[in-house]
Amino acid sequence: MVETPSNPPSGLSDVPPEKRPRHIAIIMDGNGRWARRQGLPRIEGHRHGVASLRRVVEECGRLGIEQLTLYCLSSENWKRPPQELDFLMQLLEQYMIEERSGILRQNIRISVIGRREGIPDRALKQIDKTLELTRENTGPRLCLAINYGARAELVDAVRAIARGVQSGRLDVESITEQTIDDHLYTAGMIEPDLLIRTAGEMRLSNFLLWQLSYAEIWVTEKTWPEFDEALLHEAIRDYAARTRRFGGLEE
């Protein structure tokens, strides 16, 4: 955990653009806990979480963050009650419809990573429409991890590489880390520089295990519905103050 600095400068005027992360990944946790504290049903926590999502997407765009990746639904989340899952799917469909105009206005390019199996056709239809409409956008990338699990991603990558070897397109001895990168759901994307996790949780939860190898981690006790621009600034400011050595020595 990071202590909040006393009287930090407003905004991020004290952090030059070159010190800011290019790619931020967020595990959005604590919607249910927030709702319980308010005496509300869990689904209201998810609804309020969408407002936080909107704030963060807009602020990352304003700050010049090149990519924001959000853990929306893990492959393990299917264990939740059917009523909650139905609501999450409706919320996903609604988000794709209601936020589409704003996404286009901000020149954001949408990407989705994860397996499509299990996601209702109505939600898939709206996802695909948004993907197509934003395909040529040249602004920041918003990557949504939906029905995503990092282990499943690695399994899919290994299968694809094995098929390449079997067909003769790949030679076993020529397989490198870049080969694996090229077969992940995130192929062509830059790796996350900063991972933010809300609600005080201290684990990766099967999220971007390969891609987060050298990411800086920042955790807040605040739940996702409480996450706002000030907390985003705090995380970026802390990131900018760290020395990233990537296994080397500090000069």
**What tens digit of pLDDT does each residue of 92-104 get?**
999 999 999 999 9
3-state secondary structure of 129: helix
In-domain check, residue 10: no
In-domain check, residue 1: no
Residues contacting residue 244 through CB under 8 Å, at least 6 positions apart: 214, 216
Q: Which two tokens stand for residue 18?
A: 């070159």
Contact between 179 and 161 under an 8 Å Cβ cutoff? The reply is yes
Q: Which two tokens stand for residue 143?
A: 């990557």
Q: Which two tokens stand for residue 52?
A: 């936080």
For residue 26, the cross-strand partners are 70, 196
Specify whether 77 is catalytic. yes
Residue 134 has pLDDT above 60, yes or no: yes
From the candidates 77, 137, 156, 181, give the one annotated as an active-site residue.
Answer: 77
> Other C-beta atoms within 10 Å of 178: how many?
8
What is the domain-level CATH number for residue 224?
3.40.1180.10
Element (H, E) at 145: strand 141-148
Please state the domain count of the chain. Answer: 1
> Other C-beta atoms within 10 Å of 122: how many?
12
In-domain check, residue 235: yes
Closest by alpha carbon to 30, among 236, 212, 220?
220
* pLDDT tens column, 174-193: 999 999 999 999 999 999 99
In-domain check, residue 168: yes
**pLDDT tier, 237 (very low <50, low <70, confident <90, very high otherwise):** very high
pLDDT of residue 6: 46
> Other C-beta atoms within 10 Å of 150: how many?
22
pLDDT of residue 243: 86
Specify whether 29 is catalytic. yes
Closest by alpha carbon to 187, among 196, 177, 197?
177
For residue 110, the cross-strand partners are 142
pLDDT of residue 11: 77
In-domain check, residue 23: no
In-domain check, residue 13: no
Residue 1 has pLDDT above 50, yes or no: no
From the candidates 29, 31, 147, 193, give the one annotated as an active-site residue.
Answer: 29
| pLDDT above 70: percentage of residues in the chain | 93
In-domain check, residue 115: yes
Residue 19 has pLDDT above 90, yes or no: yes
| pLDDT above 90: percentage of residues in the chain | 88
In-domain check, residue 37: yes
**pLDDT tier, 10 (very low <50, low <70, confident <90, very high otherwise):** low
**pLDDT tier, 3 (very low <50, low <70, confident <90, very high otherwise):** very low
* pLDDT tens column, 61-85: 999 999 999 999 999 888 888 999 9
The domain in which residue 39 lies consists of: 29-240
Closest by alpha carbon to 204, among 221, 217, 190?
217
* pLDDT tens column, 151-166: 999 999 999 999 999 9
